[in-house]
Amino acid sequence: MNTTPFNTLIQTFIGNIPDAMRLSSRLCDKARALDFLAPLLIRLYLAPVFWMAGTKKFANFSDTAEWFGNGDWGLGLPAPYVLVFLVALFELVGALCMLLGFATRPICLPLMVIMAVAAVTAHLQNGWLAIATGSGIFATDRTVGAIERLERAKEILQAQGDYDWITEHGALVVLNNGIEFAATYLVMLLALFFLGGGRFVSADYWLRRRYGID
């Protein structure tokens, strides 16, 4: 069997890899003119997340503090009232900083700590998934059991209620409360810590230009 044409094809392909990589690099470099979009969109995504989290904690301050401090049905954390106040304050200040792009990198540090502590204390025991699904590599006995209960709940609603109206704006799900959301927010904050608030559309950018800070 003559393999010369095949070998020639492979050698040609391999020989063109550096040129293809250089072309790809040049094209990607041209896209850097829009590099401010990534941190901007991350900031705008996170701002309402932290604003809602902070305002909810202040609105339900006593109940949240009891959950923070109770070792039987809560998190069992020390000084729960102080912790709730500090966490809610950082979340509200963080939301405003995200919105304005002000002190973006410094505010990411306490918010990352909050997300890491939340992931470990409140979500880790529930596994990875935020919403329970009964299959896949991230499914656990907990999520499989949740799907069984969800199917039973659907049967009850279909038999005794207007199921089409109930599910008109979205399917029924079971909240698994795993670390998925906390981990996602932590990764986004880590990206902002290194990227900063971004060019043109952040207060940090204009303040650095105003005071000649690199």
19-76 pLDDT, tens per residue? 788 888 888 888 889 999 999 999 999 999 999 999 999 999 999 999 999 999 999 9
Domain-located, residue 44: yes
Domain-located, residue 184: yes
Range of the domain at 192: 37-127+177-211
Domain-located, residue 30: no
| pLDDT, averaged across the chain | 92
Separation of alpha carbons 54 and 201, rounded Å:
24
Separation of alpha carbons 48 and 117, rounded Å:
20
| pTM of the predicted structure, to 2 decimals | 0.88
Domain-located, residue 20: no
Domains held by the chain: number: 2
Do 123 and 75 belong to one domain?
yes
Beta bridge partners of 175: 131
65-121 pLDDT, tens digit per residue, is 999 999 999 999 999 999 999 999 999 999 999 999 999 999 999 999 999 999 999
Task: State phi, psi for 186 to the nearest 5 degrees.
Answer: -65, -45
Do 166 and 137 belong to one domain?
yes
pLDDT at 2: 52
Going from the C-alpha of 38 to that of each of 181, 190, 193, the distances in angstroms are: 19, 13, 13
Domain-located, residue 32: no
Do 115 and 207 belong to one domain?
yes
- Is the pLDDT score of 135 beyond 80? no
Local confidence band at 199 (pLDDT 50, 70, 90 cut-offs): very high
Do 89 and 137 belong to one domain?
no
Residues 6+ away with beta carbon under 8 Å from 112: 186, 189, 190, 193
Do 164 and 58 belong to one domain?
no
Domain-located, residue 26: no
Domain-located, residue 6: no
Residues 6+ away with beta carbon under 8 Å from 203: 100, 101, 102, 197
Mean pLDDT of 151-179: 91
- Sign of torsion over alpha carbons 163, 165, 171, 176: negative
pLDDT at 10: 77
Residues 6+ away with beta carbon under 8 Å from 66: 74, 80
Task: Report the range of poorest mean pLDDT among 35-44, 58-67, 149-158, 188-197.
Answer: 149-158
Domain-located, residue 29: no
Rounded to the nearest 10 degrees, the angle between the axes of helix 104-118 and helix 80-100 is: 140
Do 120 and 90 belong to one domain?
yes
Separation of alpha carbons 175 and 123, rounded Å:
11
pLDDT at 3: 58
Do 106 and 184 belong to one domain?
yes
Do 61 and 110 belong to one domain?
yes
Do 167 and 181 belong to one domain?
no
